[in-house]
Amino acid sequence: MAHYGTLRDVSFTGDVDDIRGATLYGINDEKLGKIDDVIFDHASGTIRYVVVDAGGWLSSKQFLVAADRIQPDAEHKNDFYARMTKQQIESLPRFDEARFSEDPEQNERDWSDYNQRYRESLETTGDVLHREDSTHVITPGPDELPATGPSLPNEDALQPGRLSGVFTNPAPGASKTRMRPSGIAARAEDSALPGQSVPEEIPTEVGEQALDRSSTNRLSAFEEHLRHNRQGITANCPKCRITGDKAA
């Protein structure tokens, strides 16, 4: 049975790029804290949340951010970004690992309940954008709204007119010329008959592997390590031992 747990003091050797210790930034480059641990499914190795140490600004000291909300930070190498504010984080359900049962079945129910409350919290606060150095949502102020008043003169003249008959037949033809700005190299499809589509190239296996490598980031690479080594990582997990005993 699937259940969630943390790494705690598990350490890694070799070339494993451990994300613990990386900084998490939010909207407006606001520092939210440092990644202290991860919550992952011990049955699959899939990371569900990261545990973030708030560094003193949050009363609960730690909070969780769903793994699918985290991405590499373009401004800070080897750190991460979540499209969240401190205000949103303060509204999240409090995380206390001690409140999650050791029993796998109850543990799954506990996390299911937490996941539900977590989603509801984000739906309530919403994915909002804020002004720089402000806690206010970006909405137009009174001075930014368009002026209201009587209708414009000759308002009917502003309505768009029909353009039927203005353009030539769009069908391809040998007499039609494909235009391209000067200085831009010609593409292969430019040699085709104008107006005809060019079949999309199907990526080769080598090309697909290259795309996979380019999309890999620290979080996904770390998750992949957990998946491949989850049995050794969870060997001392009391919940996993209980599950094994029930299966036997």
Domain membership of residue 95 (yes or no) is yes
Cα–Cα distance, 39 to 48 (Å, whole number): 6
CATH number, residue 32: 2.30.30.240
User: Measured in whole angstroms, how far is the alpha carbon of residue 92 from the centre of its chain?
Assistant: 17
Question: What tens digit of pLDDT does each residue of 118-177 get?
Answer: 999 988 876 544 333 433 344 444 554 555 555 555 655 556 666 556 556 666 666 655
Strands (E), 42-171: 47-53, 62-66, 70-72, 80-82
Residue type, 50: V
Domain membership of residue 236 (yes or no) is yes
Query: Is the CB of residue 5 less than 8 Å from the CB of residue 234?
Result: yes
Domain membership of residue 192 (yes or no) is no
Give the other-Cβ count within 10 Å of 95's Cβ. Answer: 18
pLDDT level of residue 3 (50, 70, 90 thresholds): confident
Domain membership of residue 43 (yes or no) is yes
Question: What tens digit of pLDDT does each residue of 5-40 get?
Answer: 999 889 888 888 999 999 999 999 999 999 999 999
Domains of the chain: total: 1
Q: H/E element holding 5?
A: strand 4-6
Q: H/E element holding 37?
A: strand 31-41
pTM of the model: 0.62
Cα–Cα distance, 78 to 71 (Å, whole number): 10
